[in-house]
Structure 1
Amino acid sequence: MSTVAETGLRTEFAFELPVGYVDDDGQVHKHGTMRMARARDEIAPLRDPRVRDNEAYLTVLLLSRTTTQLGTVPSVTPAVIEGLFTPDLAFLQDLYRRINQEGHTRAAVVCPACRHDFSVDVAGGAAGES
């Protein structure tokens, strides 16, 4: 049996929010980490009455279960995800999709000026990181 380190499997991804979560003290938290989802992360919220009442709430629960760190916020709860600005929520939804459906955080883009194709790390990693 091999370990994650031995296989090079990457299961956690650093990110930087475009706006940032503002806590009750007014502190802005932009840097965080998200891990790959496990089957139970997608199954358990389906039993939650908030999801039964509003299917869109599934996103809040999925992101709160898989966002492992957000600045110095002690715990990323559904209330924290609910408090995100819309651009940050959209960013995390896209990051979740990339990590869990595509297995990476890179996106193919085209320069609008020169039409050159290249890829960027949407998680906000340093240049050259994969």
Structure 2
Amino acid sequence: MSLHTEYPFTLPKGYVDEEGTLHRAGVMRLACARDEIEPLRDPRVKENESYGTVIVLARVITELGTLPRVNTSVVERMFAGDFAYLQDFYRVINFGDPSVLEELEPGAPFPQASLEAG
């Protein structure tokens, strides 16, 4: 049995970059402890605790469309629905049962039970 560490996703709406290109398909890797610890040192998190989620997502999203890199500026400019989707996706692959991903349509909302698992 091998450990699956990267998971593809499709944003419900998609991220629109500065040139107007829509990016929906991406990949998120499993988080390590450092991904959750490092943001606590960031002054933006000390000012607003919720910003930690932005930093964590920017660290674990390894691909998004044709963007060369995903950083906090990209995550900040995502539509609220896509941001919520990525938070749920993060919880499912890191703390829940990733097998539920196989049953979902790309960009579909997650079943509540899969978010409560783990």
Measure the CA separation in 2 of the matches of 1:105 and 1:121: 10
Structure 1 length-normalised TM: 0.77
Larger radius of gyration: 1
Structure 1 counterpart SS, 2:75: helix
Helix, strand or coil: the match of 1:88?
helix
Gaps spanning 5+ residues in structure 1: where? Answer: 1-6, 108-118, 126-130
CA offset at residue 8 of structure 1? 1.7
- 1:121 paired residue number: 104
Tell me the number of residue pairs that the alignment of Structure 1 and Structure 2 aligns.
107
1:90 aligned partner: 84
- Equivalent residue, structure 2, for 1:35: 29
Q: Which amino acid aligns with 1:77?
A: N
Q: Could you say which structure has the higher helix fraction?
A: 2
Identity %: 50
Give the secondary-structure state (helix, strand or coil) at the position aligned to 1:96: helix
The structure where strand makes up a greater share of residues is: 1
The structure with higher relative contact order (CA 8 Å, sep 6+) is: 2
- After superposing on structure 2, the runs of 4+ consecutive aligned residues of structure 1 that deviate more than 6 Å are none
Structure 2: 5+ residue runs without aligned partners? 108-118
Select which of 2, 8, 11 maps to 2:2: 8
Distance in 2 (CA, whole Å) between partners of 1:105 and 1:88 is 21
Aligned to 2:65: 71
AA in 2 matched with 1:121: L
Q: How many angstroms apart in 2 are the aligned matches of 1:69 and 1:93? A: 16
Q: How much does 1:103 deviate?
A: 4.6
Q: Compute the RMSD of aligned alpha carbons.
A: 1.7
